[in-house]
Amino acid sequence: MTQIQSDRKKSNQICIILLSILGLMGCITVLFPQTRLLIMELAGNILHRKITYQGVFKLLHSLALGGIFSILFFDYCTLTDAGRLLVKKTKQEIKDCLSEVDYRTLLKPVLFMCGVYMCSVLTIIRANYLYRDDIWRSIEGVRGWHDWSRYVAEFVSIFIHGDTNLTDISPLPQLLAVLILSVSSVLLVYVTAYRKTTFIPLLASIPLGLVPYSLECLSFKFDAPYMALSILASIIPFLFVTRKKAFFVSSVIALLIMCMSYQAASGIYLLVVIILCFQDWNSRKKSNKEVMTFLGISALAFCFAMLFFRFFLMKPTTSDHVYIYASTTIHPMSQIISGTLINIKNYAITIHKDFGLIWKICIALVCVLFVIKSVHTTSRKKSISLFVSIWVIILSFILSYGMYSFLTKPMYNPRSLYGFGIWLAILCIFVVSDYKKIAAVPVIALNWCFLVFALSYGNALADQARYSDFRIHLLLQDLSSLYPDRSKEGLSIQLENSIEYAPAIKNISRNYPIIERLVPTRLGDGWDNYYLGHFNHDQNTTSNLPAYTSIDYGTLNLPVVLDTYYHTIKSDGRRILVILKH
């Protein structure tokens, strides 16, 4: 029997070596530019279109390097005694950590949070609003997440939609997002409240899913579950904090999943690390050495995952996308400090402008209570605890913006700022956990405000949809009367301005300015062509932005052919300018 096992082991090793040699040869071959061009040409023939995107060329080079690294690491783990021992110990640690979790005690909290989030997003689902990217995905059925290195979203979407071609299956993706956010809330309470999931801390975690920035994520009919997955992936590694090897491995894997789902969550992992280190330090539950060891392992795992993603998986953005999305370029070393400080300042200013006065007062009270509780319950000197707790708030706020802080052109769209919600949830959970009940008052008040706003936001989407479609119907009816021949060559339409906000949104914006950043206006940006396609309008239509056309029809002094209460149409018979009135 021993001889049979030995022979089987040798044969397995020979197979691994042969496959590794073939894999290395293939990866090395891809490093040559000629090979990559051939691969792109073959892919173009299969897809029946020419692939000229420079990012694909660079991505193949990065994937080849990543493949070489992965093959060598796999060989180390399977062909060497030290590697096999490392794998064995890590697997055992993972099993031990998972066995320590009482999953039955987490079921009711997950169901409870599902109910809370479901009630809050019910109006968003009922609005049935095609939100930004949803417009062209519902028409063309194209995934397109790989353009932004979101390979997990690209792959998982095939299973969720049951096809490589996307179709609108809402509200299923949003329901999945609600479930994922519910699990994320429960796990965040579980890992930051010493494995307790009581009622008040669960309510305190509501900003994770209902802060206005997260509401934009839930508004997407196609993207919602993958944005939510990035949050969950950032929290899961902390189930393994009691075992070093298991924690490191799970952190690297989870962080890579996060990066390939939605990169705006890149700061969440660090937020949890900071709060756990502070809790253990402030209460002396762990020695300074143990706290620093945990911090070091976390930092190493984070840096390793980010570098691996950057050099082996990330597809750099190109100029045709930069006008909408963030760049992938980090500030040069000479400008890294000044550039980062500017990004953080703009991040804080954006939040300040977005939030209403009541929200800001409640958030300020939460921060004050965080400091008071830290000082009141500390096992350290109170003056030191006061100083450290203030710096924890400031540092964690900065980290909530994630890697965007270092980019030359970061995003400030609401969906890119949902790390702020996790930062706020962590502070709220800390304040209400094992402390005086009076501390929960501002926390519950803040979260009630977020819940009410979520309901108002969903109804506002519905109002804007009704008003926008009414305006579009009038416009298309007038265009069809003036130009009944849709196939006339050379006929092009340019839009000026956008459809204004419905009265309900103007009302909400008086106290909560963020509503105007959350609700998209129709016919106001690059989605014009796609949204008009829902009405079978296939004319050559653009906005008057330089990003879409080099000629501004507004400068041509076109004659007015129709002037109504809602719009003015100018045309010379070939070029049409539609001026939307506010």
Q: What are 346-381's pLDDT values in tens digits? A: 999 999 999 999 999 999 999 999 999 999 999 999
pLDDT at 390 over 80: yes
**What type of residue sits at position 119?**
C
What integer is the mean pLDDT of 34-46? 70
Q: What are 73-101's pLDDT values in tens digits? A: 888 888 888 888 988 999 999 999 999 98
How far apart CA 225 and CA 240 sit, in angstroms, is 24
> Residue 75 has what pLDDT?
86
Q: Maximum distance among all alpha carbons in the chain? A: 94
| 420 closest CA partner among 129, 117, 211 | 211
Q: What are 199-219's pLDDT values in tens digits? A: 999 999 999 999 999 999 999
Annotated domain spans of the chain: 2-79, 103-435, 464-580
- Residue 409 banded pLDDT, cuts 50, 70, 90: confident
Q: Give the number of other Cβ atoms within 10 Å of residue 17's Cβ.
A: 13
> Which of 403-407, 433-437, 466-470 comes out lowest in average pLDDT?
433-437
| 457 closest CA partner among 30, 123, 66 | 123
**Sheet of 575-580, strands arranged across:** 540-543, 492-496, 575-580, 567-571, 560-563
The pTM score is 0.91
What residues are paired with 579 via a beta bridge? 496, 568
The number of C-alpha atoms within 13 Å of 429 and in the hemisphere containing its C-beta is: 30
Q: What are 466-486's pLDDT values in tens digits? A: 999 999 999 999 988 998 876
> CA dihedral in degrees (255, 257, 262, 263; nearest 10)?
30
pLDDT at 314 over 90: no
> CA dihedral in degrees (377, 380, 384, 388; nearest 10)?
-60
The number of C-alpha atoms within 13 Å of 308 and in the hemisphere containing its C-beta is: 21
Decide if 220 contacts 133 (C-beta within 8 A).
yes
